[in-house]
Amino acid sequence: MGRCRSLWIAGVLLGFAGAPARSEERSLVDVFKSVNPAVVEIHTRQSDLAARQAGRPVSVMGLGSGVLVSRDGKVITAAHLVQAADSVEVEFLNGDKVAARVVSSEPEATDVATLQLERVPPAALVARFGDSDRVQVGESVFVIGAPLGVSHTLTVGHLSGRRRSDMTPGGTTRAEFFQTDAAINIGNSGGPMFNMDGEVIGIVSHILSLTGGSEGLGFAVSSNVVRRFLEEKSFWTGIDGYILWGDLAQVFNVPPRRAGLLVQRIAAGSPAERAGLRAGTTRATIGREELIVGGDIVLEVMGVPVQASGLEAVKEKLTGLRPGQTVDVVVLRGGRQVVLTAVAPAAP
């Protein structure tokens, strides 16, 4: 009798011990349902060169994720997804598809871009930002996106670490990235990372992988960095470029002790296209780098030279432009330096 009673008590205690886990699972279900409508798929189309037929342009479709962050139709996504896109379309949970345009993009430092929707669906949900400074390593997080095209997929993990990107020439950190073991694959780029309160604490940027798939090393730009990006005056050039410096700069005949931005792709209708810049025409492998060559090499913008450490000085100059102001761009084209002139557009 005593043994039976002991087993009964043990069973009750185990039942109570299991209750919090079930409650936590229920909570995740509820939180996922509450934030999922704010997550969107990003469909892009851009011109590229066929992999095996150098010089032949083809239209390439791209897929990623994003999140609606304002009532007036601002969507945050990954810059590398839309930087050179000729067209962008945003798809909501209910299947509603809306055309969008890139209004600002920072592919180099933060990998964050802002899209502006042509219209905002009536039932659209705006996501809430959390304070990423308060997030601690070890906390549970989840990611919603379209990995490998499977839309609105939930993956769960933990915040594995806080990482800083390279330092700027002035010595300040460019961005903070969260490392996570939540599964991230192609198609997750630009999607939101949430805490268990349903707040956006990061925007998925990239993975480190030996196989091309998820290996538990995913990275997201922290939400406070994204918030600062939204608040600051920014711009979009439409250039997918590559910084040439050192030995590689010499290969392309960049002037001694100078760096240049190799223009690989240019988005249709972008400021870069309107300025008359030319994209690359041929795929080439130089050392370990896969590049598209044959396009312009930007040497300086409004008297500010391209630096090996990045485009920070150029960006600072451009952000101070007034609508209608003239912009001079010096490029290396066919071995000669050419000056292109453009006009700063009105604020988006």
Instruction: Catalogue the active-site residues.
Output: 80, 111, 189
Query: What one-character DSSP code corresponds to residue 224?
Result: H
340/329 Cα distance (integer angstroms): 5
Contact, 154 vs 32, CB < 8 A?
Answer: yes
Tokens of 273: 């296209």
Contact, 172 vs 111, CB < 8 A?
Answer: no
Contacts of 69 (CB under 8 A, 6+ apart): 75, 76, 126, 127, 129, 200, 230
Contact, 276 vs 330, CB < 8 A?
Answer: no
DSSP string, 109-166: TT-EEEEEESS--TT--PPEE--GGG--TT-EEEEEE-GGG-TTEEEEEEEEEEEE-P
Judged by DSSP in three states, 314 sits in helix
43/92 Cα distance (integer angstroms): 11
CA distances from 32 to 28, 64, 136 (A): 6, 19, 21
Other residues' Cβ atoms within 10 Å of the Cβ of residue 139 = 13
User: Which among 320, 316, 324, 348 is positioned nearest to 114, based on CA atoms?
Assistant: 348
241/209 Cα distance (integer angstroms): 23
